[in-house]
């Protein structure tokens, strides 16, 4: 009789154990509600879309539950921050699923992409309006910019009063750019009765909110070390000289440059990949954190001093002036060519295009620089 070896005894014991104690995956016993809750936490805190995608491809169950409406409705701004170079039909479909799940952030991002990049004006504006109805401040402000410029239509489609009303609603919700825009509108009497003191109050409030946002950011310790204050200093930081930007020059403060919204980053990258121009004769907003393109020629206002840079809004002009343009703006003896169109210089140094000249001063193709 053959004597069993230790290896044979071990194998026989394992077979007996497997016969009476079959393999059991405790993951399968977890209820769907618990996994949906876990995935919702993940999608709301992920720092990039890839973090959520990696969870989806872990197993079929994760892939199925990760597409649940309760999960997609919690997707954060960073999770939805798709890169333009990675844009595809599947990325479009993912954003659409988030929109259908009621994600307001996805409504705004997909709305901006469709309106400005895919040139689907009606669908894009509808999605932004859906986000605005939910009191999403960036959507309200973007719709205000569209009304101010008549984007997607002709110059006659401008509605300054509607733009001011949307801007006021976004400002009430604490949107910094909307506060700036509303402040400049009040100071200039643009679409609203002029009130210089009230406009100045909104500009100061925008600066204060901007500083508060920096100090309350997750990396607040690092942010505080970057904030400097010199009430008597006049900031003339050269472009690229440091990572600090004089956004609060009214108070003599330097703070780190604000992080651009994923929709703005997408638009800037989208047009950069396509040669840096949205189309023949069209321009991008010169503020690096914006990314908005013109939807028709001469839609944006140009700098009234140098005539080189152009902006979609007064808020972008004010920010870019403090960020970089103040250091490089200089009067030109000869204005740059305007694609063959004749231009006419007005009394204040701004320019008017003859084809778009209007009786109202708010239609001038210029922006007055801050002093």
Give per-residue pLDDT as tens, 295-352.
999 899 888 888 889 999 988 888 888 888 888 888 766 555 554 443 333 333 333 3
Tokens 């703006």 sit at which residue? Answer: 329
How far is the CA of 135 from the CAs of 26, 114, 124, 171, 316, in angstroms?
Answer: 43, 20, 17, 11, 22
pLDDT per residue as tens digits for the range 124-158: 999 999 999 999 999 999 999 999 999 998 889 99
pLDDT value, residue 344: 36
pLDDT of residue 90: 92
Centroid of chain to Cα 188: 26
What pLDDT score does 25 carry? 60
Whole-angstrom Cα Rg for the chain: 27
Task: Please tell me the predicted confidence (pLDDT) of residue 72.
Answer: 94
Handedness of CA 196, 202, 205, 210 (dihedral sign): negative
**Bigger pLDDT: 144 or 12?**
144
- Residue-wise pLDDT for 228-275, tens only, equals 555 444 444 333 333 444 445 455 556 666 788 999 999 999 999 988
Res. 371: pLDDT tops 50: no
Q: Is the pTM of this model over 0.95?
A: no
Q: What does the alpha-carbon distance between residue 29 and residue 25 come to, in Å, rounded to a whole number?
A: 7
- Report the chain's terminal Cα–Cα distance, integer Å: 105
Contacts of 69 (CB under 8 A, 6+ apart): 100, 101, 102
* Confidence at residue 212, expressed as pLDDT on a 0 to 100 scale: 82
Q: How many CB atoms lie within 10 A of CB 312?
A: 26
Q: Position of tokens 């992409």?
A: 113
H-state helical runs in 135-229: 137-149, 160-172, 176-188, 196-215, 220-226
How does residue 16 score in pLDDT terms, banded at 50, 70 and 90? low
Q: 37-85, pLDDT tens digit by residue?
A: 999 999 999 988 988 988 888 888 888 999 999 999 999 999 999 999 9
The answer to whether 279 and 343 have CB atoms below 8 angstroms apart is no
CA–CA distance, 6 with 3 (Å, rounded to integer):
10
Phi, then psi, of 4 in degrees rounded to 5: -65, 140
The token duo for 19 is 């016969």
Q: How many CB atoms lie within 10 A of CB 184?
A: 23
Yes or no: say if 180 and 315 are a contact pair by the CB < 8 Å rule: yes
Distance CA 315, CA 185 (A): 10
- Residue 268: its pLDDT value, please? 93
């Amino acid at each position: 009789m053959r004597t069993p070896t230790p290896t044979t005894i071990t194998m026989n014991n394992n077979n007996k154990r497997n016969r009476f104690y079959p393999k059991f995956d405790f993951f399968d016993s977890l209820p769907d509600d618990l996994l949906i809750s876990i995935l919702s936490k993940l999608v709301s805190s992920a720092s990039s879309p890839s973090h959520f995608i990696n969870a989806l491809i872990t197993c079929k169950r994760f892939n199925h539950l990760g597409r649940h409406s309760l999960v997609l409705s919690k997707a954060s701004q960073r999770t939805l921050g798709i890169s333009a170079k990675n844009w595809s039909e599947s990325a479009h479909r993912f954003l659409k699923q988030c929109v259908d799940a009621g994600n307001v952030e996805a409504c705004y991002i997909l709305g901006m992409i469709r309106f400005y990049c895919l040139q689907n004006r009606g669908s894009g504006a509808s999605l932004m309006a859906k986000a605005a109805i939910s009191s999403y401040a960036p959507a309200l402000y973007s719709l205000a910019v569209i009304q101010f410029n008549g984007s997607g239509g002709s110059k006659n489609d401008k509605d300054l009063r509607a733009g001011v009303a949307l801007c006021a609603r976004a400002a009430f919700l604490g949107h910094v750019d909307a506060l700036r825009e509303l402040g400049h509108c009040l100071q200039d009497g643009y679409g609203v009765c002029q009130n210089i003191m009230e406009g100045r109050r909104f500009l100061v409030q925008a600066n204060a909110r901007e500083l508060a946002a920096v100090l309350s950011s997750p990396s607040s310790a690092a942010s505080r070390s970057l904030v400097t204050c010199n009430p008597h200093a006049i900031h003339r930081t050269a472009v690229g000289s440091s990572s600090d930007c004089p956004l609060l020059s009214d108070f003599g403060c330097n703070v780190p440059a604000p992080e651009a919204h994923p929709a703005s980053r997408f638009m800037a990258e989208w047009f950069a990949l396509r040669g840096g121009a949205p189309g023949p004769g069209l321009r991008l907003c010169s503020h690096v954190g914006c990314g908005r393109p013109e939807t028709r020629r001469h839609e944006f206002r140009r700098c009234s001093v140098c005539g080189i840079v152009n902006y979609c809004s007064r808020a972008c002009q004010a920010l870019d002036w403090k960020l970089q343009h103040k250091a490089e703006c200089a009067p030109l003896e000869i204005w740059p060519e305007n694609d063959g169109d004749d231009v006419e210089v007005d009394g204040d140094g701004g320019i008017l295009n003859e084809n778009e000249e209007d009786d109202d001063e708010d239609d001038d193709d210029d922006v007055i620089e801050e002093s």
